[in-house]
Amino acid sequence: MTRPHQVRFLSDTAGALDVVVKLTVVHSTRLFMEWLAYKRSTIASSHCNHVLSLRNALSLSLSYRCTQCTESAACHCSPLCLLSGRSIMAEDMQRAVGDVLKRVLMVPPTHFTVEYTINPWMGGVVDKDKAQKQWSDLKVAIEKEGVKVDTLDHVKGLPDMVFVCNSGIVRGNKVYLSRFQHKERTGEQEHYLKWFEQQGFEIYGRDYVDHFEGGGDACFSSYDTLWAGFGPRSNKSVYEKISALGDFDTVICELKLPQFYHLDTCFCPVSEKAALWYPPAFSVATQEAIKKRLPDSIAVSDKEANAFVCNAITIRKTVISPIGVSQDTKDRLAKIGYSVTEVDMSEFMKSGGACQCLVLKL
């Protein structure tokens, strides 16, 4: 059973920092290891007296440095979260990822077309100028929320590379790479890998054989909870390996409908207690798990689900969604403190994707 602890450690070394440690301890061994890490990294410092926080987030591959001055890692033992770019407290582990999102990756639709059929939505001729405008509008909507957008060039001959959410799943400075089920998309993998290497990510999944389609089927609602979709595209077994990304709970979600082939087509985390979701896309057991863990979740209608309303991105108190959110859903979101920004995604829906498909959270 998890129990909160307030622990105050006093250094043996004169002049060393006095750190207040607020953390959640699962096992006494873990508490001891965190104490040992603190003791080993604390050295004398006569000119820095900041009170800093050590959390139970060592598994996030954290960079240790002070966020208030230029003191070294050895002086502080104050983890800086690489996902948000700031130091966070233990209670932030339960905060929604959208609350602290600072950076995403997008691929412009330079070579976007519909050339094959690998999901029930694919078909039609893409208006390239319209697609570029829609992509740019989405990028602007994200930037207006204070999020930095990195871009990766679209490679000719890989039309679905624009759906960069499927490149992998990121937590801190770690990424677990995708392994696509359909041969039409396997060529994308080497380009994503190169980008992650250039950015200095710690990379997992290079040689695994399980099918896994990245952020399309897996998403963190908070630092300590991963929602893990399996069925049409990703293998259930892959999530045992993804646990290498850190210490977090994994909620397995069984997808039942072919038209909702990825988790992000029917599920969008909004807050610590809510998501937009389409219940018929899930098994009964998964429906019960979502209701239990996210009790304020909002079920969308058939019409909304088919408009890809759940393929949305939550940033701070804004849900960026394709056009088609009903007034009832907007009102229910407003009651829990969220507004909706709608972006036309009609060209990308010809290939079975929308807002979230076009964005990888970093």
pLDDT in tens, 160-200: 999 999 999 999 899 999 998 889 888 999 999 999 999 99
357 included as an active-site residue: yes
Query: What pLDDT does 24 receive?
Result: 35
**pLDDT over 80 (residue 336):** yes
Six token digits for residue 115: 């050339």
Residues near 182 by beta carbon (within 8 Å), at least 6 away in sequence: 118
Tokens of 219: 């998403």
Neighbours of 129 (CB within 10 A): 9
DSSP 269-338: E-SSS-EEE-GGGB-HHHHHHHHHH-TT-EEPPHHHHHTTTTS-EEETTEEEEES---HHHHHHHHHTT-
Strands, sheet with 275-277, edge to edge from the N-terminal-most edge strand: 267-269, 275-277, 298-299
Residue 156: which of 110, 124, 190, 107 has the closest Cα? 110
Separation between Cα atoms, residue 306 and residue 180, nearest integer Å: 24
Q: What gap in Å lies between CA 287 and CA 230, rounded to an integer?
A: 14
Q: What is the pLDDT of residues 17-26, one digit of tens each?
A: 333 333 333 3
* Cα separation, 61 vs 79, whole angstroms: 9
pTM: 0.75
pLDDT confidence of 117, banded at 50, 70, 90?
confident
Distances from the Cα of 61 to the Cαs of 44, 84, 143, 202, in angstroms? 25, 13, 27, 9
Contact between residue 59 and residue 247 where contact means Cβ atoms under 8 Å apart: yes
pLDDT of residue 7 exceeding 60 = no
310 among known catalytic residues: no
Residue 43's pLDDT band, with cuts at 50, 70 and 90, is very low
- pLDDT attached to residue 243: 86
Q: Could you read off the pLDDT of 257-308 as tens digits, one per residue? A: 999 999 999 999 999 999 999 999 999 999 999 999 999 999 999 999 999 9
- Return the structure tokens found at 227: 């929602």
Which of 277, 237, 240, 243 is closest to 257 using CA atoms?
A: 277
Q: Break the chain into its structural domains and give their ranges.
A: 97-361
- pLDDT score at 81: 45
Q: What number of other Cβ atoms are within 10 A of residue 219's Cβ?
A: 24
What is the rounded distance in angstroms from the CA atom of residue 76 to the CA atom of residue 66? 6
**Residue that wins the pLDDT comparison between 57 and 36:** 36
Homologous superfamily of the 97-361 domain (CATH): L-arginine/glycine Amidinotransferase; Chain A (3.75.10.10)
Whole-Å CA distances, 202 to 38, 65, 167, 174, 313: 24, 19, 15, 5, 25
| Span 70-80, average pLDDT | 36
Residue 87 in tokens: 């130091």
DSSP 92-134: GGGSBHHHH--EEEE---TT----S-SSTT--S---HHHHHHH
pLDDT for the residue 312: 98
Say yes or no to pLDDT of 350 above 50. yes
Backbone angles phi, psi at 305, to 5 degrees: -60, -40
The span from the CA of 190 to the CA of 173, in Å, is 19
The single residue of 75, 165, 355, 357 carrying the catalytic annotation is: 357
Looking at every residue in the chain, the average pLDDT score rounds to 79
Q: Which of 76, 77, 262, 266 is catalytic?
A: 262
50 falls in which pLDDT band (50, 70, 90)? very low
Tell how many helices (H) and how many strands (E) occur in the chain.
11, 20
